[in-house]
Amino acid sequence: MDHPPYYRFLLGTFVLSGVVMFHTAFATPQKRIEKPSKRPPVSYTQEVRPILAEKCFSCHGADEKKRMANLRLDTRDGAIAHRAVVSGHPEKSTILARILRNDGLRMPPTHTGKKVTQDEVEIIKRWITQGAKYAPHWAFQRPQRVPLPKTANQRQIKNPIDNFVFAKLEQIGLTPNPTADKYTLVRRVSLDLTGLPPTPQEVQTFASDTSPNAYEKLVDRLLASPQYGEKWARMWMDIARYADSAGYGSDPLRPNLWPYRDWVINAFNNNMPFDRFTIEQLAGDLLPNPTQEQLAATTFHRNTMTNTEGGTDREEFRTAAVKDRAIVTMQAWMGVTVGCAQCHNHKYDPVTQKDFYRFLAFFNQTEDNDQPDERPTIPYLTSDLKRRKEALQVEVAELTSKNTPEAKAEIEKKNKEIEKIFIKLPVMKELPTDKQRKSHILILGNFLSKAEEVQAGTPTYFPALPADAPKNRLGVALWLTNRENPLTARVAVNRFWATLFGRGIVETEEDFGQQGSLPSHLELLDWLALEFMEGGWNVKNILKTLVTSATYRQSARTLPSHLEKDPRDRLLSRYPRRRLDAEGVRDQALLLSGMLSHKLGGPSVFPPQPDGLWRAAFNGERTWSTSVGEDRYRRGLYTFWRRTVPYPSMATFDAPSRETCTLRRIPTNTPLQALITLNDPVYLELAQALGRRIAKEGGNSLQERMRFALLLVQCKPATETQVQTLTELYNQELEHFRKNAPAAKTMATQPLGDLPAGMDVAEQAAWTVVANVLLNLDSVLTIG
């Protein structure tokens, strides 16, 4: 019998990251090859609905208030009832008659500026001829496995992903780019999997490894490195709206929340299956005898904001937090937006207002209620703290035998210390049964306007809560990760895809509903979702599948034919080149300059930022105590995240404030970003360090050093023109700084500090300028 995942979980038989049958995919039967019929069936979802949605639904759609002529075209019944559509008879269907008119009765009306094109008319005609079939929204149906599409490009193909991608490219007369060179590949996959570029040694190792599985070995090494967890935790932090402050007015600090962040890093590094990752974060506290780590996972939903402003109503902001939990859960796991249903039934997706408050009821039973002290909390112990505590307890035990006044005093002192050893970590804690709250529909979402009482339940349109699942948050987690759920796996793999390819197969990662964008490759998305579930929700395996595809390994070169036929690269005719994210820009500069601390986890840190930025209201904390030592050079993931004043250089590179859940960062390309990597003292310091590293490790001649520098930052050998261009710059700057000793001194040493013995001031000033350019190269700021 095929036990659903939650069943295994509850039985405690979870198999940790076992090797799953990745290769089963290749065994998919391919007996039935679809033959294109002469008149291919029109797809309502892919072809017809987009036309109707853009040109008809605003007046003939779901919104009763805006509906004209009492005609709706978004349902088959509606369209048929008014003979707008007469199945099988385009000539009798008034929809076409009206579209084709040339007078004032034309649809859509002229004043809308919209017109149905000839091609679109043909689609509608064919659709009506074929029976005018409507289809339920694709994303709300379970993923389907289809035979792998055929592709002529058998030589380049690496795994089934390529069948789907190549076949689509062939349909529009494109072929994928050839595989990128090894230098490009090692940098690309290192950045994508660990958020850091490879070292020159790593580049060399891969470039000279001629074994057939060299690339696979590289991928395995990267997935096994602790930096992998850091990189992918970053992605989850935006979703978890993790921050080190509570938000609102004075935005008080939450310096104790980081064990949750570390839990996420460890979950990725230990390759925790995604279903378990889900269950522990949503309901770790409801598992039998939860461990400290399972409780720490539930901090996920304690990342909601707390309003400590004077004169606030606790219930108002508790309600806001609970709504946020319901909304984020649906959105992060199922890509369904339910926020609007707090006031009214969803206009496009099958979520009613009642559904919303029934779902909210699951989250309405925790003890927390917008208290400034963030209770309830647990005394969380890291392994270091635990060791320290145990050591002290041993000492106390030894002292107890002595029974002298000195020993007693010492015991008291040590006991006091023991009491203080813990981190006060906010967690989810269910109210006792007799104190559980009643949940109501709230009129217009107002916490004071209670309407009908509701019982906890999942949105009725979707598959029901599994029969044996408890009616609480644990049940919700099991429902999300149940095989019947059409969305969770799709949303998850789409997010992995988006992280690796810049954009999701469904571009609106946050919205898989009817208003979201259609998948560029639906069958591929489904194939991946099924692989993911059948493979035991194994995250590393699915990532490996993605990065070992030929699609991923293509060169990024853009050709004129690409811009003509696939301008936005939705069909992946080339590797989607893109800028590093905010943390990536920082992390890479740290690594290249040799300054990066590899310390994993721990409290958030305070790298330098301009003075006086923290000026929160109501006596909020104003002191940014810049970290010293290695904490000054930690990865961006560890930068202290104050919601009302996010770290400015990362915010400029599109990092969100994390006041709310962010499912997709929209990348920008602005002059303010240029100012940061050119002028921010943080980046200048790293340019100085990089300059010194070049002088120290780059050999003796200027030529050698320049080649070393370019290889280091680009992870590929320099071209002659590159060397020449930078050598010219270096010589000009050297000449300039030779004449300006004070400026040279400043340029070479502020803020990094005195030069090591033997380094020349003017030379290092010139190298700083060169390094500043290197860290701003397009090829460095971009994953290509």
Partner 1 sequence: MDWELTKARSITRRTFFGQAGLGLGTIALNSLLAEEGIAQQKLKQGNPLAPKKPHFKPRAKSVIYLHMSGAPPTLDMFDYKPKLTELNMKPCPDSMLKGERFAFIKGVPTMLGTPHKFKQFGKNGTWISETLPNIGSIVDDIAIVRSMHTDQFNHAPAEMFLYTGNAQPGYASMGSWLTYGLGSLNQDLPGFVVLLSGGTDPTGGKSLWNSGFLPSIYQGVQCRSAGEPILYLSDPNGMDRASRRRSLDALAKLNELEVKQLGDPETVTRIAQYELAYRMQMTVPQVMDIAKEPQHIQDLYGAKPGAATFANNCLLARRLVEQGVRYVQLYDWGWDIHGTGPGDDLVTAFPQKCRDVDKASAALILDLKQRGLLEDTLVVWGGEFGRTPMNEARGGSKYLGRDHHPHCFSIWMAGGGIKPGMIFGETDEFGNRIVKDAVSIRDLQATILHLMGLNPFQLSYTYQGLNNRLIGPVDAAATVQTALLS
- CB nearer to partner 1: give 272 or 326: 326
Give the residue with the Cβ less far from partner 1, 460 or 719: 719
How far apart are alpha carbons 14 and 65 in whole angstroms?
51
CA angle 190, 196, 200 (to 5 degrees): 75
- The residue count for binding partner 1 (CB under 8 A) is 101
Q: Shortest approach of partner 1 to residue 201 CB, angstroms?
A: 25
Rounded Cα gap, residues 348 and 527, in angstroms: 26
For residue 311, give the nearest of 616, 618, 615 by alpha carbon: 618
Mark the segment that binds partner 1 (CB under 8 A) among 477-485, 532-540, 587-595, 638-646.
638-646
Q: How far is the CB of 768 from partner 1 (least distance, A)?
A: 8
What span, in angstroms and rounded, lies between the C-alpha atoms of 705 and 173? Answer: 46
Do 556 and 576 form a contact (C-beta atoms < 8 A)?
Answer: yes
**Using CA atoms, how far apart are residues 377 and 164, in angstroms rounded to an integer?**
48
* Binding status of residue 678 toward partner 1 by CB under 8 A: yes
- Per CB under 8 A, which region of 124-132, 210-218, 503-511, 583-591 contacts partner 1? 503-511
What residues from 418 to 447 belong to the interface with partner 1 (CB under 8 A)?
none
CB of 713 to partner 1, least distance (A): 11
Q: What kind and span of H or E run contains 452?
A: strand 450-454
Residue of 213, 617, 696, 717 that binds partner 1 (CB under 8 A): 617
Residue 119 Cβ, how far from partner 1 at the closest point, in Å?
18
- Between residues 87 and 517, which has the closer beta carbon with respect to partner 1? 517
Helix, strand, or coil (residue 342): helix
- If phi > 0 it is left, if psi is from -120 to 50 it is alpha, else beta; for residue 268 that is alpha
Residues 258-317 that bind partner 1 (CB under 8 A): 305, 307, 309-313
Instruction: Name the segment binding partner 1 (CB under 8 A); options: 13-21, 450-458, 525-533, 561-569.
Output: 561-569
End-to-end CA distance of the chain: 46
Is-contact 296 464, C-beta < 8 A? Answer: no
Cα–Cα distance for residue pair 305/251, rounded to 1 Å: 9
**64 vs 778 by CB, closer to partner 1:** 778
The window from 35-43, 163-171, 649-657, 696-704 that contacts partner 1 (CB under 8 A) reads 649-657
Tell me if 146 sits within 8 A of 543, measured CB to CB. no
Query: Which residue in the set 618, 630, 717, 756 belongs to the binding site for partner 1 (CB under 8 A)?
Result: 618
Q: Which of residues 336-365 bind partner 1 (CB under 8 A)?
A: 337, 339-340, 343-344, 346, 348-349
Least spacing, CB of residue 255 vs partner 1, in Å: 19
We find the least distance from the C-beta atom of residue 73 to partner 1, in angstroms, to be 19
The CB-of-593 to partner 1 minimum distance in angstroms stands at 15
159 binds partner 1 (CB under 8 A): no
- What is residue 665's DSSP assignment? -
Work out whether 113 is an interface residue with partner 1 (CB under 8 A).
no
Cβ within 8 Å of residue 742, ≥6 positions away: none
Name the helix (H) or strand (E) containing 124.
Answer: helix 118-129
Residue 529 · residue 522 · CB < 8 Å:
no
Q: Extract the tokens encoding 182.
A: 């090894």
* Cβ partners under 8 Å of residue 347, min gap 6: 62, 63, 340
CB of 374 to partner 1, least distance (A): 18
| Among 206, 168, 173, residue whose Cα is nearest residue 187 | 206
Q: Which is nearer to partner 1, 540 or 658 (CB)?
A: 658
Is residue 129 within the footprint of partner 1 (CB under 8 A)? no
CB of 45 to partner 1, least distance (A): 16
Q: Which residues, 55 to 74, sit near partner 1 by CB under 8 A?
A: none
Print the binding letters for residues 761-780 with partner 1: x by CB under 8 A, - otherwise: ----x---xx-xx--xxxx-
> In 3D, which of 198, 219, 194, 237 has the Cα closest to residue 584?
194
One residue of 421, 746, 759, 760 binding partner 1 per CB under 8 A: 746
Q: Which of 12, 38, 615, 753 binds partner 1 (CB under 8 A)?
A: 615
How many CA atoms lie less than 13 Å away from 229 in the CB half-sphere?
Answer: 19
Among 516, 536, 601, 603, binds partner 1 (CB under 8 A): 516
Is position 711 an interface residue for partner 1 (rule: CB under 8 A)?
A: no
How far is Cα 537 from Cα 386, in angstroms, rounded to an integer? 32
Q: Kindly state whether residue 449 participates in binding partner 1, applying the rule CB under 8 A.
A: no
* Nearer residue to partner 1 within complex by CB, 12 or 742: 742
Nearest residue (CB) to partner 1, 285 versus 680 = 680
Could you say whether residue 579 binds partner 1 (CB under 8 A)? yes
CB nearer to partner 1: give 185 or 533: 185
Q: What is the dihedral of CA 123, 128, 133, 138, to 10 degrees?
A: 10
Q: Which of residues 239-258 bind partner 1 (CB under 8 A)?
A: 247-249, 251
Q: Which is nearer to partner 1, 505 or 770 (CB)?
A: 770
Cβ-based nearer residue to partner 1, 196 or 770:
770
Shortest reach from residue 319's CB to partner 1, in Å: 11
Is 725 a binder of partner 1 (CB under 8 A)? yes
Minimum CB distance to partner 1, residue 752 (Å): 11
In the complex, the smallest distance separating the C-beta of residue 660 from partner 1, rounded to whole angstroms, is: 4
Per CB under 8 A, the list member of 670, 704, 717, 754 interacting with partner 1 is: 670
* CA-atom Rg of the chain in angstroms: 30
Task: Examine residue 681 and tell whether it contacts partner 1 (CB under 8 A).
Answer: yes
Q: Which of 45-53, 132-140, 415-423, 648-656 is the region at the interface with partner 1 (rule: CB under 8 A)?
A: 648-656
Q: Is residue 358 within a helix (H) or strand (E), and if so which, with residue range?
A: helix 353-363
Cβ-contact 236, 661 below 8 angstroms: no
Bridge partners, residue 450, by sequence: 442
* Of the candidate residues 224, 443, 563, 626, the single one contacting partner 1 (CB under 8 A): 563
By C-beta, is 280 or 581 nearer to partner 1? Answer: 581
**Shortest Å distance, C-beta 710 to partner 1:** 9
Dihedral angle sign, alpha carbons of residues 93, 99, 103, 108: positive
- Using rule CB under 8 A, residue 139 touches partner 1: no
Q: How far is the CB of 748 from partner 1 (least distance, A)?
A: 8
| Candidate residues 178, 559, 754, 756; the one interacting with partner 1 per rule CB under 8 A | 559
Q: Which stretch binds partner 1 (CB under 8 A): 260-268, 379-387, 391-399, 732-740?
A: 732-740
DSSP 430: B
Report in angstroms the alpha-carbon separations of 531 from 80, 83, 271, 489.
40, 44, 16, 9
From the CB of 756, what's the least distance to partner 1, in Å?
Answer: 19
In angstroms, the Cα distances linking 728 to 141, 678, 688, 767 are 62, 19, 19, 12
Measured in degrees and rounded to the nearest 5, phi and psi for residue 578 equal: -160, 160
Q: What is the DSSP string of 307-334?
A: ---TT--HHHHHHHHHHHHHHHHHHHHH
Least distance (Å) between residue 261 CB and partner 1: 21
